[in-house]
Amino acid sequence: MPLDYHATGRQDVAMKPAKAMTLRLSTEQAEELATVASVDDLPVAEVVRAAITEHIAARKRDEQFRRTLRERIEKAQKLLG
């Protein structure tokens, strides 16, 4: 499924405080990412944000992930007791 580059809420990013992050990629990944961004006529950062948004959305839909998340939340709540 192609990435939805508009799902990153680009306008929304401008309104909210942003967190700068460093990402290390292999040379091959960086070149491929730059190529994809160039072909799609988008900034690399926009392509990365869209991929992250899509990945997080997919994890939220994954039942195993949701179960594990609930277990970790319950464990943390017990520690706070």
DSSP single-letter state for residue 7: G
Whether residue 53 is contained in a domain is answered as yes
**Domain encompassing residue 56:** 5-13+25-80
Q: Which pLDDT score is estimated for 11?
A: 47
Helix axis angle, 63-80 to 44-61, nearest 10°: 80
Whether residue 48 is contained in a domain is answered as yes
Q: H-helix or E-strand containing 62?
A: none
Q: Which pLDDT score is estimated for 7?
A: 54
Tens digit of pLDDT at every position of the chain (81 positions): 566 665 555 545 566 889 999 999 999 999 999 999 999 999 999 999 999 999 999 999 999 999 999 999 999 999 998
Q: Which pLDDT score is estimated for 70?
A: 97
Q: Which pLDDT score is estimated for 14?
A: 60
Whether residue 19 is contained in a domain is answered as no
Q: Which pLDDT score is estimated for 5?
A: 63
